[in-house]
Structures are given as C-alpha cells and as structure tokens.
Structure 1
Amino acid sequence: MAAAPRRSSSTRGRAAAPRSVIPQVPWRDPQPAPIVLVSGPEEVCAERATAGIRDFLKAEDPSLEVSDIRADDYTAGTLLAVTSPSLFGEPRLVRVSGVERCSDVFLAEAVAYLAQPQEGATVVLRHTGASVRGKKLLDAVRAGEGDGVEIACPAIKRDSDRYDFAAGEFSAARRRIAPTALRALVSAFADDLTELAAACQQLIADVDGDIDDRIVERYYGGRVETSAFTVADLAIAGRHGEALVSLRHALASGADPVPLVAAVAMKLRGMARVAGSRESSAALASRLGMKDWQVERARRDLVGWSQATLGRAIQATARADAEVKGASRDAVFALERMVTVIATRAPFAS
C-alpha cells in the first residue's frame, strides 16, 4: 500500500490549497500520513488500524521510534518533543489516545502542530466519538490541515456487519471458511466483537486448510449450542425436540429470553421479506438492503412453509416478545410455546 504523500520542508509556510475532505482510509488497509485521525467507537478496528500503521512504518525502517501520549493527561511541550528529529533522524510514530477527553493544553498544541508537522513523524490521533471534546482539532484535520487521512471505525452492531467483519478476518488471512461455519462462529460470539476477532484469529492460527462446521463445533461447540440463532434455526427447520433441548440448554447457560426471541424474530422477518419473490438473490438483496447470503439463507428456510404457517409463527413470536418483556410471569413457558408453534407449524394446543 502506498503511503500518503508527506509535506516536504520546501513547502512549509506556504498557503496550502484548501481541501474540504481528507482521504478516507479503510481500517484493514491503513495508510501512514503526517496526521492520521482514527475515529469512531469500535476499538477492535481502531487497534488494528494503528497496529497496521506501525507495521507499515516498521517495515520501511526498523529504526522507527514509537511514543505514546495521553491527550487527557498531557504535559506541555510533549508533542513537539517526541515528533522532533533525533540526532540520527529516525522516523517517529506518535500514538495519541483519549483525544475525546483532551486537555486544553494538548488541544492548543495539537492544532498549532497541524500548521507545521515535523518531517518524518506520523501522529495518530485516536478519538472514539464519545464526546465533542477536541472538535476544533478534528475539524482542522478533516479540513486538510497537516496533510492527514481519516480511518473511520464505526460501531459494529448488526448481525450482517459482524458477519462481514468475520469474513474479512479470514479473507485478509487468505483462508477459506464455509458460510455455515462462519455463521455459526458469528452466532456464538454475537455479543462481543473482541471475542469474535480472537476466535477468528485462533482458527486462522491453529487450523491448516479450509475451516468447516465440524472445526467450529470442535473449538466453540459449547457456545454455538447455547446460541440464540441455533434455537431459531432448529425451530424453523421443524426439529421440535432438538429446538426445545437447545432452548433449555441456552437458558441453563444463562441466556437472556429477550435476545432469544429477538433472534427468532429476525429470522422470521427475513423469511417474510423474501417470500414469494422470483428475483435473483443479488437483485433482491440490493432492493431490500440485505446481503446475498441472507437472501439465500431465508429462501432455504422457507422450504415447507406457507403464508399461513409463517404468519402464525410471526404472531407467536410477537406474543412471546411481549411476554418475556413483562406481560407474563413465566418467560420459559412463553419461549417453549413460541418454539413449539414454529417447529410444528401448528397452533399451540393448550
């Protein structure tokens, strides 16, 4: 990857052409520049981006000097001291954390630094977006002062985003994982992106060759078994007994009833959205704002379902959603009734 052009010493002091937008760089492919703004709340991606910049610069020159500064506990003059050239002129990487909590002294010195970045220095500014503190600095960087780039790290919350994240982990390592194995892995770590990232890296490091369902089951079977999506998949597939066993196992492992219902509801909504459509998976995914794999999975799930049974399952799930949120005193019974209606595709016999 090519480094962003640095401002040479011959251009310092000249009026730079105004720029309204600085380059936006993917966190998986970070580019060094005199100023790098790493913004957004997703810490896993921010750490990867910062590490990528360090590795790139280290590969260019092993004598790289790395310094860390806290913007919220800052001593005047530190930024200029750590970015200034040493006697031997080694390149410098300065990682600044906590810009969203920065002190007034740091803010003033950082804004002033943008007007004349030190030759050979890369300053990484980490701002989580948790506050508007440091906005003056961010605005100046984004306006083009200091020859910067921005690496956005937005929150990864949706299941499709987590799936894309995990797929990117294996793609970046040039490893293949079966779609069903990837989905099981994502479902097992649906609540913690850091753990999901660690699980992906463990499989990449430990397993030779392609990764399939059996490997994911061997490594993370306990978590997969208690996943809300496993309960949903078994119920939708009509495997009533297995779905109830999986549900009870999940509850015994401490699973919250609300996310369990939410997982089932999400699956049923996807099925309802694609039901009856004859469009290609790619065209339908584009029109509905879904991923191709989501459309294909929903179509597979629809085998054996009718409009009436799907409607009955959606109604049972809506009822269970209300009951596990306080409308009933027995959340377990509500869940078991929902699973029974979905798995048997018949009204619940009380």
Structure 2
Amino acid sequence: MVTLVVGDEELLAERAVGVVVAAAKAQDASAEVHDLVGGKVEPGELTRLTSPSLFGDRSVVVIRSAQDLSKETIAEVVGYAKNPADDTVLVLVHPGGVKGKALIDGIKKTRADVVTVSKLTKPAERLDFVKGEIKRAGRTITGEAAQALLDAVGNDLRELAAACSQLAFDTEGKSIDLNAVARYHKGRAEVSGFTVADSAVEGRLADALEQVRWALGTGVAPVLLVSALARSLRSLAKVSGAGRNVQAAQLGMAPWQINNAKRQLRGWGPEGLSAALMAVAAADEQVKGGGADPAYALEHAIQTIVASRNGR
C-alpha cells in the first residue's frame, strides 16, 4: 500500500499520516514504523526497508519532506510504488509546489492513494474545521460560538485544534454556546495558555507572570491556563522518558510537538519535572474550587515550575 499526502497544511498532513499508520498498526500491532526525512534518505534505503522479511513482519515507512529526496531516490520510490510489497505500508508527505514535483507526477501515475491537505483559506472552511474538531470530541457547537472561537484564537489550525480540545474538555453539556467561548477565550488572542506555558517551562519567569496576569485580567479562565501548563509538562515528561529512536506515532504526538519538547527539555531533569507536575496538580485543584484565589494558585505554580527547571 502506498499513500501520498500532498499539501502545505502541516496539521492536516500529520493527521493523514497518523490515520494510515494507525490502520497499519491495527492490522498488526507489532508492525515496525520507520519515520524518515526526505533529505536524509539515501538511494537504496527504501529497497532495504521494504525487502520481504524472513519472518513475514509488517512494516510502515513514512518519508516526510519528500520534496527533498534526490533524483535517484525519487526514481526508486516511484518504481517501488508501481509494484509495492504486500507487507509494507509506504507513506510519502510532500508540501506541493515545484520542488520534487517529479515524485508527485510519478506517484499519481501508479495506483497509490493520494490525500490532499491544502491550507484552509476561506472563513467558511475554518468554521467547518472548528465544528469538526468539536464533533471529534463528542460535542456540538453553535454557529455564533464557532465564529467567536475563531475570532479569539485566530486562523492557525494547531491553536484552533488545541483550543477546541480544551474547550470541549473543560465545559459541560452537549452543546457549546457563545457564553462558554466568551468565558474561556475573552481577551487578547495571542495571550493564551500556550504562551504562558511556553514561557514557564522555558524558565522565563517575568514573561510568564506578566502573561498570566494579562490573561486573567482579560477574562481567560484559570482552568484553561492550568490545563495548558499541565499539557506542556506532560509532553516534556513523555519525550524525556522515551528512547532516542522512538517514533512520533508511539508517543501519540506530532513530530513538531516532539521537536518542541526536546528543545524545551534543556535544563529539566526527572526530579524537576515531578515537582513541577505536582505544583500544577495542586493549582488545578485550587482553581476548581479548592482554593480562594485562583490567580495566586497560578502564579505560585508558575514560580514553582521555573524554580524546578534545573532539578536533576
């Protein structure tokens, strides 16, 4: 099986790859996943990875940034796609454009599946995306609430997807209305839980405190900020405990999330991460009714996170 994912919307491309990999793993949980970058794939490497195994093992080969493949390797990939192995799943990810177009043209002449993931440029498309994300979470959202969320968060699909996920998790009822969105996302869009969390885990105490005060002052819900802090720290813990060659699909994270976590892990150790996670758990309890001052709970958690950063 060969799948070509074409388009410049990274989030949708990653999801398309994830669907194919998950399907392969569902058929054979022991299938080995090889996650490669186009510019580092040598001629002959695909042939080696797709050669029949003596034990009949199933494998998945993902080649990202396929536009960077050499001419020799493109010829090898297209030749393979004409007669793919039964026990191998090959996924090619190409952003579109002129570079490496020979790969797209060649693959389209085979029986490969082609998935197009272009950027969502029209307002109606982005609104549909928001509604789809909420539906994925098992909820519904009114049209005016979806528009308000889009206005508050912006057009970046990663931010929108994360905001939809948090909103669905942190609110109650079957349908999300305008009041819920206003309560959680009122104020300046660029000051979000994600900016606060990034500043905190990177040790920028002054920035984090200023951002959290602004967010609270403009109506961002404390529980949303705590959720963002917890998510960032859990990502660090996941990547920290994983092996060097672990695949993105095994962690349930996108490659960009893993790269970001690796960058932010500098200065962090197991004891520091444990202390930071405990501080966030305490803040979560306090902002959900266990404490009298959510702002103090958040600031204290941020101070503890930054202080724990050099923990070994």
| TM-score (norm: length of structure 2) | 0.57
Structure 2 vs 1, CA of residues 208 and 58 (structure 1 numbering), >3 Å: closer, same or farther?
farther
Aligned to 1:278: none
Q: Which of 116, 119, 133 is 1:155 aligned to?
A: 119
Q: Which of 155, 159, 182 is 1:217 aligned to?
A: 182
Give distance in 2, aligned partners of 1:189 and 1:85: 48
Letter in 1 for 2:34: S
Aligned to 1:141: 107
Give distance in 2, aligned partners of 1:162 and 1:135: 28
Between Structure 1 and Structure 2, the one with more helix by share is 2
Give distance in 2, aligned partners of 1:94 and 1:118: 12
Deviations 1:37-94, CA, capped at 9 Å, x for gaps: 1001111111111111112222222112110122222222211122223333222111
Give distance in 1, aligned partners of 2:54 and 2:180: 53
Aligned to 2:69: 102
Give distance in 1, aligned partners of 2:106 and 2:190: 50
1:319-334 aligned within 5 A: none
Residue 117 (str. 1) matches residue 84 (str. 2): yes
Give distance in 1, aligned partners of 2:60 and 2:189: 41
Aligned to 1:231: none
Q: Which of 133, 138, 143 is 1:169 aligned to?
A: 133
How far does residue 224 in structure 1 lie from its aligned partner after superposition? 6.0
Aligned to 1:306: none
Aligned to 2:157: 193
Give distance in 2, aligned partners of 1:87 and 1:200: 46
Counterpart contact for 1:71–1:106, Cα < 8 Å: no
Counterpart contact for 2:81–2:112, Cα < 8 Å: no
How far does residue 181 in structure 1 lie from its aligned partner after superposition? 1.3
Aligned length: 192
Counterpart contact for 1:73–1:103, Cα < 8 Å: no
**Identity across aligned pairs (percent)?**
38
Aligned to 1:206: 170
Partner of 1:85, secondary structure, is: coil
Partner of 2:61, secondary structure, is: strand
| TM-score (norm: length of structure 1) | 0.51
Counterpart contact for 2:153–2:190, Cα < 8 Å: no
Give distance in 2, aligned partners of 1:200 and 1:108: 42
Aligned to 1:132: 98
Deviations 1:160-212, CA, capped at 9 Å, x for gaps: 11101111112233311122211110111223221111111222333343322
Counterpart contact for 1:35–1:148, Cα < 8 Å: yes
**What value does the CA root-mean-square deviation take over the aligned residues?**
2.3
Q: Which of 39, 42, 46 is 2:9 aligned to?
A: 42
Counterpart contact for 1:99–1:133, Cα < 8 Å: no
Give distance in 1, aligned partners of 2:146 and 2:188: 14
Give distance in 2, aligned partners of 1:225 and 1:153: 26
Give distance in 1, aligned partners of 2:76 and 2:143: 49
Give distance in 1, aligned partners of 2:99 and 2:156: 27
Give the unaligned 5+ runs of structure 1. 1-33, 227-248, 254-350
Partner of 1:222, secondary structure, is: coil
Structure 2 vs 1, CA of residues 205 and 81 (structure 1 numbering), >3 Å: closer, same or farther?
farther
Partner of 1:133, secondary structure, is: coil
Letter in 2 for 1:110: V
Deviations 1:71-123, CA, capped at 9 Å, x for gaps: 22222221112222333322211111111222123212112212321121111
Letter in 1 for 2:151: S
Give distance in 2, aligned partners of 1:115 and 1:182: 44
Letter in 2 for 1:164: D
Give distance in 2, aligned partners of 1:37 and 1:153: 11
Letter in 2 for 1:133: K
Counterpart contact for 2:67–2:103, Cα < 8 Å: no
